[in-house]
A and B are shown apart, each in its own frame.
Chain A
Amino acid sequence: MQKEEFLHIVMPLKDKLYRLAKRILISHDEAEDAVQEVFLKLWNGKELIKKYNKPEAYAMTMTKNYCLDRLKSKQASNLTIVHQNYKSNNSRTEDQVEAKDGVGMVFEIMKQLPEQQRIILQLRDVEEYEYSEIAAVMEMNETAIRVNLSRARKMVREELIKKYNYGLTKN
């Protein structure tokens, strides 16, 4: 496969991969590193990508697995403290998107969800994937996807209602 052809397939996925990586890793810079790393992996295994009829699902699965591995190794190697410092730095400078009041609150709630539910919610409500596509990316069956999605949405709703009521009683 030539470089042009490869870029033609993979480049449009760049932002999707980034959003997924950021949803999992939370940090903006780490998400970008992850995307870079996944691109390298895809390029090295570019012969494999042809075998998959949907390169997008393949790339998304790879990103998901890579980010989850990163999280695991970070927890294992005690780097979480560094990461927290990093995060607070990050929110001040980088992500002004998150600064918006109510929306920022949902960003915070999202961070509390278990990774799997977070990913599924991201894929469905942000990327608007079909259940079958999500099942392919998550390597799970559709029923499990629906159950997890419902749980994630309800969790977000609960937290929102909690915060909403808190705001009302406080005023």
Chain B
Amino acid sequence: MDLQKIEQALDAYFEGTTSLAEEKMLQEYFKSGKVAPHLEVYQDMFAFFATAKSEKTSVTPKISETNKQPFYKYMRKWVAVAALLVVALGVTFFINNNSNKISTAEQIEAELAFEKTKEALNFISYQFNSSAQNLAVIQEFEKSTNKIFK
């Protein structure tokens, strides 16, 4: 290969103005093993590109799991909604139940108080009546005094 052409291409290469074809030519030249001594420095560089090109990964990326991922994401939203609903329902039931219990308890207490008051009032009126009966005797006095003072 023409050494001058290689040197020119190499200069252009470092200026970033070579075409892919020229770079291919440089690759070939440095691979050939017949490199001019003053260009040997660059041999490693091109050998590196060739080596780097052959690097391969042994791992095959899996995508089967990904099928599920949007589903999970989709489900997660609904799980959140369901959880919120459960909490909301729970709170409302709790409040409702508690307020009901309070009212029934109050009602029972009120009824009890009512009965007690009624009993007390009945007791008072009974006592009052029986005492009033005893007062009937006093009327007899009045009769006799009326007989005397006419």
Q: Which residues of A contact B (CB under 8 A)?
A: 3, 6-7, 14-15, 18-19, 22-23, 31-32, 35-36, 39-40, 43-44, 97, 100, 102-103, 105-107, 110, 122, 124-128, 130, 146-147, 149-150, 153-154, 156-157, 160-161, 164
Contacts and interface: CB of A to CB of B under 8 A. Distances in A.
Interface stretch (B52-60, B94-102, B133-141): B52-60
B16 A14 contact: no
A160 B45 CA distance: 8
A44 B53 CA distance: 29
A44 B69 CA distance: 8
Query: Which has the most chain B C-beta neighbours within 10 Å: A18, A31, A103, A161?
Result: A103
A107 B70 contact: no
A97 B61 CA distance: 22
Residues of B contacting A: mostly: helix
Nearest to A153: B14
Contacts of B57: 14-15, 18, 31-32, 35
Nearest to B51: A103
B66 A105 contact: no
Interface in B1-40: 13-17, 20, 23-24
Contact of A126 (B53, B66, B69): B53
A-B pairs with lowest CB-CB distance, top 10: A150-B16, A102-B44, A106-B48, A39-B61, A18-B57, A146-B16, A149-B16, A43-B63, A43-B66, A126-B52
Query: Which has the most chain A C-beta neighbours within 10 Å: B16, B49, B60, B66?
Result: B16
A148 to B, nearest CB: 8
B55 A97 contact: yes
Contacts, number: 95
A103 B47 contact: yes
B93 interface: no
A157 B41 contact: yes
Contacts of B67: 3
A11 to B, nearest CB: 8
Residues of A contacting B: mostly: helix
A104 B77 CA distance: 51
A146 B53 CA distance: 21
B42 interface: yes
Given A103-B47, A157-B42, A160-B44, A18 B63 contact: no
Contacts of A36: 59, 61-62
18 contacts: A7-B63, A14-B57, A19-B52, A35-B59, A35-B61, A40-B63, A44-B70, A103-B47, A103-B48, A103-B51, A106-B48, A146-B17, A149-B16, A150-B16, A153-B16, A156-B45, A157-B41, A157-B45
A102 B66 CA distance: 42
A103 B44 contact: yes
Given A40-B69, A161-B41, A164-B41, A15 B61 contact: no
